[in-house]
Structure 1
Amino acid sequence: MKLYKSDLFGDIKQPESFLELLGLITENNIEGSFNVKMWRGQGDINWRIDSGAYRRLAYSSNHDKNIRELDIANYEMTLLRQAKHKGFGYSKGRRLSDFELLAKLQHHGAATRFVDFSKNCLVALWFCIDNSLDKTGLLFGVHTDYLGGNLEGSIRNLDDTYNEFMLGLSKYDVPFFIEPPVVSPRIAAQHGVFLY
């Protein structure tokens, strides 16, 4: 199989047909483990995989370029306060937890620390090729052996406040898998999950 040399991601396998791509997707690269992956498709291989919150702060003209955890937490708490003030903290008459509200905001275009992934490689492939036909896209898979979190459902303590939720995440040194509750039909249709 051909290799694509990327300055950002190194040598990447470059399938030349859909069948070759399916072979790559179903290949188990880690002996004795499950072949479940989280998938992300992006239209330009030259884009880094950063959260929207990180990019928002890193490219803001009024912020220094050394982004710390506290900067992102303060940004997200402000985002939550603004969303609740505007009345977005409810869905079907039920008050959303901070986590649910962040998931809803993310899927409607807000910049959070969540990074969108899908459990369906074909959904991710669509995002890889949809917008940038003149660019080389990237279909990025993450093996679940390298993730923290509950891989088959919602997280525990969903009703935690933002601060409680963040304290719970601080014990992980790997990306944390989160499957949000369905607060948007769009999340369900895309088999949407997040890495946090």
Structure 2
Amino acid sequence: MEAIGRLSAHSTSHRFAWRGLSSADHLMTSSLHRLLEREEVTITEDALRAREQTILREARRWGLGVEGGQMVDDLQLLADLQHFGVPTRLIDVTSNPMTALWFATRDSRSTHAARSGLLVGINMSWYREESQGEGRPQTVFKTVGAPPATRGALNGGLGHRLVTGLALDTSFVVSSSVPNVRLLAQEGYFLASVHPEPPSGPMVSLKMEVPRGDPAVTHDLFANARARGNPRKLPFIAILIPSRAKKQLRTYLKNTYSRTAKRLFPDFAGFHDHGDWQG
């Protein structure tokens, strides 16, 4: 908790995306990446893109991707598919570290209850809601989901924003224009990128710099005062959650931050997965 608090003061220019992993053994891979791995397909951008286009095409043939009588763009459709468990390249993150910590401390019903969890904070130094001149393109994409927005925003087609994001040298943010109740409750959005070549763990599915660990960063986070001068380069930080601390942290999150399954999954699927309806 001390490290999380100090991260916000590390630099006013830092903006973190948070993700909680119930097992520290997990890598940061997309569900689409994991699907192709299970199928023993060599993971390349061409393979990911081919399957992604197949999923999008078949979803539209099924009649999905329509809002208010208008078709939503590919990013919105991917966000909706991700919500219902269809594999996509999108990676769920949240702006609230307490929500991510809840996922990193899964309860005893999880198969990873006996394993240490991981709280990951990704510093989005590349975060730009608008283009800022040559070499500094927009990296935040609001999906086109509301019908009035489709007239002027889709000149490049339904896949324009997705293709634009995949052309970037960094990861990019996908923010839903029509967020469902679960996204709202979890303060969630998505990160994605073209598949990095070569990938570097643990951020296997995200194109971002992954340097060697810097012990001085840990010192700075827990020191009484950070040394003067520019903050240390901090692309991401991973905080290990020992398995023995999970239960205590889960109780703390419930009592102090109202982080519960009922609060984070306020929909029918959430009730099915987490509700005590079986007696």
Judge same fold: TM > 0.5, yes or no.
yes
Deviation at 1:25, TM superposition (A): 4.2
- 2:47 aligned partner: 71
In the alignment, is the contact (CA less than 8 A) between 1:117 and 1:193 conserved in 2? yes
Question: In 2, distance between residues paired with 1:152 and 1:109?
Answer: 23
Structure 2 residue runs without a partner (length 5+)? 130-138, 145-151, 193-279
Question: In 1, distance between residues paired with 2:4 and 2:127?
Answer: 26
When normalised by structure 2's length, the TM-score is 0.55
Deviation at 1:169, TM superposition (A): 2.2
Of 37, 51, 54, which residue of structure 2 is paired with 1:58?
37
Counterpart mapping for 1:19-168 below 5 A: 20-28=2-10, 31=11, 33-61=12-40, 63=41, 65=42, 67-130=43-106, 131=110, 132-145=112-125, 147-150=126-129, 154=142, 159=154, 160-161=156-157, 163-168=159-164
Larger-Rg structure: 2
Deviation at 1:35, TM superposition (A): 3.5
Deviation at 1:87, TM superposition (A): 1.8
Deviations 1:98-124 (A, max 9, x none): 211111111211111111111111111
Tell me which amino acid in the other structure corresponds to 1:126.
W
CA RMSD, Structure 1 to Structure 2 (Å) = 2.5
Of 150, 168, 180, which residue of structure 2 is paired with 1:184?
180
Deviations 1:154-181 (A, max 9, x none): 2688635465334312442221122122
Question: In 2, distance between residues paired with 1:181 and 1:49?
Answer: 25
In the alignment, is the contact (CA less than 8 A) between 2:76 and 2:143 conserved in 1? no
Tell me which amino acid in the other structure corresponds to 1:188.
L
When normalised by structure 1's length, the TM-score is 0.75
Deviation at 1:88, TM superposition (A): 1.8
SS of residue matched to 2:27: coil
In the alignment, is the contact (CA less than 8 A) between 1:128 and 1:139 conserved in 2? yes
Deviations 1:27-81 (A, max 9, x none): 41xx5x42321000110110110111111112204x3x2x221111111111111
- 2:200 aligned partner: none
Structure 1 residue runs without a partner (length 5+)? 1-17
Deviation at 1:23, TM superposition (A): 2.9
